[in-house]
Amino acid sequence: MIALSEAIVQAAESKVGIRESGGNNKGAALQPFFDADAYDPNGSKPGDDGYAWCAAFVCWCCQVALAGRTVTFKRPTTPGAWDFERWCREQDDSVVLKKPAGKDIRRGDIVILTISDITIAAGPPDASGYFPTIEGNTNEAGSREGDGVYKKRRHLSQVRSRIRFNA
């Protein structure tokens, strides 16, 4: 079985190119992401959508990667990017938060950005401080309110914290 961090990246990569349809933060292709988090804005889950879904995308990636694994932490289900820090602090030492993150980001880390966004690192930073990511609810410009799942590059100066799985 591949490492959990690699499984998270592979799950994310499998959704690159997914786009919203039927309106902002809407579309059948997004439903698995919405189903993976615990947010229920109208008391109508399942089948509810229409909210910023960057964290829901990360929750889904973790859900897929954790399938068939035995771990000692709870799967993240928070719909809030910055709330991932609180989730991490509530877990055992197999999930580690580093804030600020520094330059030690590596493939499979969950990276929380200063713009209230969250992403999955697809590799380490280069000499200029840029690292590849896979992000949900972004766009070509890198907005935190985008229209799909994209491969992006982020700079270390945009990083608030990082979460690493030691499982």
CA distances (Å), 87 to each of 3, 35, 132, in order?
21, 18, 24
Q: What is the pTM of this model?
A: 0.93
Distance from C-alpha of 59 to C-alpha of 61, rounded to nearest angstrom: 6
Q: How far is residue 144's CA from residue 11's CA, in Å, rounded to a whole number?
A: 20
Nearest to 110 by CA among 51, 145, 65: 65
Tell me how far apart the alpha carbons of residues 8 and 126 are, in angstroms, rounded to a whole number.
Answer: 21
In tens, the pLDDT along 116-134 reads 999 999 999 999 999 999 9
Residue 137 and residue 54 in contact, taking contact as beta carbons nearer than 8 Å: yes
What's residue 39's pLDDT?
82
For residue 43, the model assigns a pLDDT of 62
pLDDT value of position 144: 80
Tell me, what's the pLDDT at 42? 66
Look up residue 77 and give its two tokens. Answer: 């289900």
Q: CA triplet 150, 113, 62: central angle to 5 degrees? A: 60
CATH number of this structure's domain 4-165: 3.90.1720
Ranges of residues in the chain whose predicted pLDDT is under 70: 41-50, 167
Tell me the domain boundaries of the chain: 4-165
**What is the predicted pLDDT for the residue at 96?**
96
